[in-house]
Amino acid sequence: MKKFILYILVLASYLTTHSQTYITHASLVDPVTQKTLPDQTIVYKDGKILQVAASAKIKLPKGATVIDATGKWVMPGMVDAHVHFFQTGGIYTRPDGIDLRKYKPYEQEIAWYKQHMEQQLRRYTAAGITTVIDDGTTPALLQQRDTFATKDYAPRIYMAGPLISTEYVPPVFDSLPVPDKPIYAVSSGEQAVQKLTTEYPYHPDFIKIWYIVLNPNVKDGAEKNLPSVKATIAEAHAHGYKIAVHATERITAQLAVEAGADFLVHNVEDEVVDDAFVKLLKSHGTVLCPTLVVMDGYFDTFGGHFVATPEDMTLGDPEQLGSLLDFTHMQDSAIVKRYLTISRLRAKRTAQQDSNRLVNLKKLADGGVIIATGTDAGNIGTLHASSFFKEMRTMQQAGLSNWQIITASTLGGAKALGKETVFGSIRPGLSADMLILNADPVADLAGLQKLETVIQRGVLFHPDSLLHLTPVEIIQQQDNAYNAHDLERFLSYYSDTASVYAFPDKLLARGKDNLRKFYGFVSQLPDLHVAIRDRTVLKNRIIDHEAGLAGGQKFEGTAIYEVEGGKIIRLYLVE
């Protein structure tokens, strides 16, 4: 009998994968025409879109698999055109930016991002991001990429090889063994070409240049480094690779585009660009990724005012988010003070850069330059998957329309690598990467959060089913909500009948309502913070040694949690 049921299950999943599926009566969000088409039916099979037409024109065969999308919106899966899987988004991930290696050796950070790549990929899919473009990675991660190519839950992954830098490599990266090296410096065209030949065996999807200029005279420095850029572009193009370039000054961006760069991975931030620059990018078909939030991620964290967005709390990695929230409460206050100062100095110096980025984005987008939404996720304070929504909201602040933002977040990302015939819109022949939404994302981008179903290369997922939180991650999310002073979210990690005891058996509170009273202080004490000094995990039991601050008072203690069915059912507090 068991065997028979298994057979039926296998057959059912075979049929849903290999027979035609009809999404009927959908409002179709089309970035190509920037129009929403009413009452459309989309037919797909084996991961490919076969037909898109008005529902009245498509006859449903008997027994067809039908997804009724009446009252729903269907749009292409989104694309984050700028991420880095060799970075975790947490406080320990860039020792060249802030050196905390005495707390966490960098080797541990490398091991973490390798072990958690599946989880990070699941977060992207759960966010409705069905393609990620990693703009510079390591040979080890390029090999990992290949293992995810056949995994249904994983977004489509494109990766550049290690960055080719025009003059500088942070020493912490330079000393790493080859498989973990994300960046190389070259000082001539010949060296650049030689470096590229070492990348080919790992099959990068494109090549990335870090067009850095250290000379305070940017124009002179840019011209001195131009031969390396030109040689890299010519060599990579000759081998059929697209070229992405990091160039944040107007002059480096201009020289890179004139030399044939396909994709600028950041916006120009040193000046407001003129019409000639807009025309240059438009005539070359160069795609630009504005990355508006990444610098704030660093300096909000260093300044002690990192605020987790609602998406960070639900989609972000709990451990890395925790590391950001803990930073100002680290024991080494000398480090914290130093970075508070750096953050303050930076705020004055770079307000102009922030403003230039926004002004330039509006000018370039309105001038017809192809924009691709990208976060630079993985950098400190920019968490994988969740930061995409903050980036889109910031594009809105720059003055872009919702259509411009949705187009940049789907079709624009595909165009960044010349893949618009593979994904990025809902057209026959393209991959069946689609989102079914319960609200109109064009009327309000918040509609993107009303995500009912993600279709990843023809496979259906409910977003919640993608994230399997471990007991430790549940406890850490609860800690993050506590540190963000969000009482209701904090309580959401407890079961309805959860109990809190003073160890060993004195009941302090039982049930949600009593827990809400008992923990009322969470939303009332502005300085409230708890950091984990030491954590022991025994299956579903987690023992945390905690040190914290509440109402000006320091406290220390041990908490013993029991997790069952994805919720905390018991907590013992040991003084």
CB-nearer residue toward Zn ion: 266 or 363: 266
CB-nearer residue toward Zn ion: 7 or 168: 168
In whole angstroms, the minimum distance from the beta carbon of 265 to Zn ion comes to 6
Q: Give the whole-angstrom CA distance, residue 568 versus residue 509.
A: 13
In whole angstroms, the minimum distance from the beta carbon of 375 to Zn ion comes to 9
Q: How many CA atoms lie within 13 A of 156 on its CB side?
A: 25
Contact positions with Zn ion (CB under 5 A) in 474-513: none
Q: Got the DSSP string for 377-438?
A: BTBTT--TTTHHHHHHHHHHHTT--HHHHHHHTTHHHHHHTT-TTTSSS--TTSB--EEEES
In whole angstroms, the minimum distance from the beta carbon of 352 to Zn ion comes to 21
Q: Residue written as tokens 């080919």?
A: 200
- Which spans in 239-332 are helix H? 250-258, 275-284, 294-302, 310-315, 318-326
Tokens at 292, concatenated: 């508006």
Q: Give the whole-angstrom CA distance, residue 84 versus residue 133.
A: 8
Which of these ranges, 86-94, 372-380, 464-472, 538-546, lies near Zn ion under the rule CB under 5 A?
A: 372-380
In whole angstroms, the minimum distance from the beta carbon of 245 to Zn ion comes to 11
Preceding amide of 179 cis, omega within 30 = no
Q: Nearest to Zn ion by Cβ — which residue?
A: 376
Instruction: Give me the sheet containing 163-165, strands edge to edge.
Output: 183-185, 163-165, 206-210, 242-246, 263-264, 287-288, 370-371
In whole angstroms, the minimum distance from the beta carbon of 378 to Zn ion comes to 8
Which of these ranges, 53-61, 94-102, 197-205, 374-382, lies near Zn ion under the rule CB under 5 A?
A: 374-382
* Size of residue set near Zn ion by CB under 5 A: 2
CB-nearer residue toward Zn ion: 86 or 490: 86
Which of these ranges, 102-110, 154-162, 370-378, 533-541, lies near Zn ion under the rule CB under 5 A?
A: 370-378
Nearest to residue 370, comparing CAs of 255, 264, 500, 528?
264
- For 295, residues 6+ apart whose C-beta sits below 8 A from its C-beta are 350, 353, 354
CB-nearer residue toward Zn ion: 137 or 449: 137
In whole angstroms, the minimum distance from the beta carbon of 135 to Zn ion comes to 5
CB-nearer residue toward Zn ion: 135 or 269: 135
Contact positions with Zn ion (CB under 5 A) in 127-156: 135
- For 285, residues 6+ apart whose C-beta sits below 8 A from its C-beta are 370
Nearest to residue 82, comparing CAs of 118, 136, 128, 119?
136
In whole angstroms, the minimum distance from the beta carbon of 394 to Zn ion comes to 16
Contact positions with Zn ion (CB under 5 A) in 518-537: none
CB-nearer residue toward Zn ion: 375 or 404: 375
CB-nearer residue toward Zn ion: 135 or 317: 135
Q: Give the whole-angstrom CA distance, residue 234 versus residue 232.
A: 6
From candidates 235, 262, 317, 376, binder to Zn ion by CB under 5 A:
376
CB-nearer residue toward Zn ion: 317 or 376: 376
In whole angstroms, the minimum distance from the beta carbon of 266 to Zn ion comes to 8
Which of these ranges, 2-10, 85-93, 368-376, 537-545, lies near Zn ion under the rule CB under 5 A?
A: 368-376
The region that residue 176 occupies, defined by phi over 0 for left and psi between -120 and 50 for alpha, beta otherwise, is beta
CB-nearer residue toward Zn ion: 263 or 561: 263
CB-nearer residue toward Zn ion: 249 or 544: 249
Q: Distance between alpha carbon 71 and the CA centroid of its chain, in Å? A: 29
CB-nearer residue toward Zn ion: 354 or 546: 354
Q: Distance between alpha carbon 156 and the CA centroid of its chain, in Å? A: 13
Please tell me whether residue 391 binds Zn ion under the rule CB under 5 A.
no
In whole angstroms, the minimum distance from the beta carbon of 552 to Zn ion comes to 41
In whole angstroms, the minimum distance from the beta carbon of 223 to Zn ion comes to 24
Kind and range of the H or E run holding 341 = helix 333-366
In whole angstroms, the minimum distance from the beta carbon of 82 to Zn ion comes to 6
The amino acid occupying position 500 is V
Which of these ranges, 221-229, 332-340, 369-377, 566-574, lies near Zn ion under the rule CB under 5 A?
A: 369-377
Task: Give the interface with Zn ion as residue ranges (CB under 5 A).
Answer: 135, 376
